[in-house]
Structure 1
Amino acid sequence: MQRVTRLSRGLVLAVFALSTLFPFYWVLVSSLKDKHQIYANPFGFPVKWHWGNYADIWQTAHLSRYFWNSLFISACAVAIMLLIGAMAAYVLARREKSGWLYAYFTLGIMIPVHAILIPSFVLLKQLHLLNSHFGLILIYIVSNLSLCVFVLHGFLKGIPRELEEAAAIDGYGRVRTFVSIVLPLAKPGLATVGTLGFLNCWNEYLFAYVLIGSEPSKTLTQGVMALTGQYSTDYALVCAGLVVSMLPLWLVYMLFQEQIVKGMTAGAVKG
């Protein structure tokens, strides 16, 4: 009976792994084919490796410009979001009877981002921030701040107050205690929230499509979508664009993998 259970679990995990990894395999392999090979042999390895797809999208399709735009927007949004979110979560974690204020901050998790699309457009138009990276950064900060406060609040509330009291005895002020004591202990939470925020900003398309119309300011998601035609699409170029868009996400996860695992584990234990 135990053997049957192990076999069934292994089969379920194998099916799940294949269904999860196969799209990545297909995109990577297809990015190295020409458009004729994709239709002739859609799932097999390319007969001839076509590395020119990456050169075409990077130079001809201007994906290099869109790549650096997305990197700048995502990095700035995540950095500011972590700074504001960490300070807000710290105040809420240390303040007595802050339940209503905490609920106000985390209310944004329950509001669909699409509900604020039109108000955001009107607001940025009045502020003359349409077709501006700073306007999009502002929207990304607001849309991800609630999740940041929600996650970091649990981490910071679990840090013993005795550490801050000991730091105060040593002459540390509030700001120095927060920077030197609290933030280092909250690294797993910061890494988790930062990675999730970067993922959301990097993959976001709707706000970028509505708020950014000028060609030099477009993001990578807009550039990849522009590779699809109305009547015909070169899927080799589209897959190459998808691979380029996935590389930073893989790199961020590999760099912060240990901290993310710690953050997820700590969050599960506290939950």
Structure 2
Amino acid sequence: MKTVERYKKGVSFHLVTALKYLALTLAGFSCILPFVWVALSSVKPDKEIYSNSFGLPKIWVWSNYKDAWKGAQVAASFLNSIFYSFTSVALLILVAAMASYILARVWTGKILYNFFALGIMIPIHAVIIPMLMILRRLGLVNTRLGIILAYTVAELSFSIFILVAFMKTIPKEIEEAAQIDGSSRLRTFFQIILPISKPGLATIGTFAFINSWNDLLLALVITSGPKLSTLNLACFNLRGLYVQHYGLITAGLMIMMIPVIVIYIFFQEQLVKGITAGAVKS
């Protein structure tokens, strides 16, 4: 009887495991399918995109990338997106790290922390009009500084939420030893806390870069000139009024996706460490 029960438990365990892997496989396939379609469509003529959507192209049209790069000032917009994303990430890391350190070590009450965390539940669409009014009064509409500040503010709440949980896992004995050696709080923060917090900083930096790079709404509202447009906005402008050239549009999308994929590949280990920090108490 015990052998039969063990056999049944083993069969049920393997069945559940197989179903889990099947669900994960289907989920992964559903995620990668749009990317495959975009990649294949970027090297096809427009007629073949409709007639042979998921098949290999009969004619490889690499000129779509060349035309997309030249059209709608994609090259200049690419450099703008690089500048906006990296500058806003650097500013965000500095501000969020300083605020998180104070919330994790100095003002450890829940009121101020909940105030910042509350921003996660408020969508950017709900504050876009007040943000635009503030930027207009400060004279920052249609400026590079305005779009950088908007990207920084949009990611601040989530970044503080992640970093506070990470910094609470740092042993206080490290700071106490630094204070005994005569280190000030500012020096302790920059020379000890920041280097230790690299996984958390990589996490918020990666998320902020991806969201800033993929943004269309803020760039569409704050900027109005082609000299300040982002890559996402330039790809949006590749569409025609009456005819959609999907070959050009998908080529522009591939150009836009490559930097995000590269950033994620390089920082995926730190990303996982930063997200799971504070999840398990020792």
Say whether the fold is shared (TM-score over 0.5): yes
Is the counterpart of residue 256 in structure 1 residue 267 in structure 2? yes
> Is 1:231 the equivalent of 2:239?
no
* 2:103 aligned residue (92, 96, 104): 92
Q: Which moved more, 1:5-14 or 1:248-257?
A: 5-14
Q: 1:163 to 1:97 in 2, by over 3 A?
A: closer
Query: Could you say which residue in structure 2 is the equivalent of 1:144?
Result: 155
Give secondary structure in 2 for the equivalent of 1:215: coil
Alignment-derived partner of residue 112 in structure 1 = 123
Look at both structures and tell me which one has the larger radius of gyration over its CA atoms. 2
Give the TM-score of the pair, scaled to structure 2. Answer: 0.91
Find the counterpart in structure 2 of residue 247 from structure 1.
258
Cα shift at 1:267: 4.3
Identify which range, 243-252 or 36-45, moves more after superposition. 36-45
Match of 1:73 among 84, 87, 91: 84
Amino acid at match of 2:131: S
Where does structure 1 differ by over 3 angstroms across 4 or more consecutive aligned residues? none
Structure 1 residues 57 and 23 mapped into 2: Cα distance closer, same or farther (>3 Å)? same
- CA distance in 2 between counterparts of 1:221 and 1:112 reads 20
- Residues 39-94 of structure 1 show CA distances to partners (whole Å, capped at 9, x for unaligned) of 22111011121111111111233111111111111111111011001001101111
Give the letter for the 2:33 counterpart. Answer: F
Alpha-carbon offset, residue 97 of structure 1: 4.7
In structure 1, distance between residues paired with 2:132 and 2:280: 40
Supply the AA of the counterpart residue of 2:263: V
Q: Secondary structure at the match of 1:189?
A: helix
SS of match in other structure, 1:229: coil
Matched residue type, 2:176: E
Query: Which one is further off, 97-106 or 41-50?
Result: 97-106
TM-score, normalised via structure 1 length: 0.95
* 1:154–1:270 Cα contact (<8 Å) kept: no
Deviates more, 1:22-31 or 1:57-66: 57-66
Task: Tell me the residue number matched to 1:221.
Answer: 232
1:231: Cα distance to partner?
A: 2.0
Partner of 2:168: 157
* 2:50 counterpart (32, 36, 39): 39
Cα distance in structure 2, aligned partners of 1:240 and 1:89: 40
User: RMSD of aligned C-alpha atoms?
Assistant: 1.6
For 1:28 and 1:153, the matched residues in 2 are separated by 39
The CA deviation string for residues 238-264 of structure 1, in whole angstroms up to 9 with x for no partner, is: 111111111111111111122112222
Q: Which runs of 5+ in 2 are unaligned?
A: 1-10
Contact 2:71–2:238 (8 Å) recurs in 1: no
Q: Share of identical aligned residues, percent?
A: 46
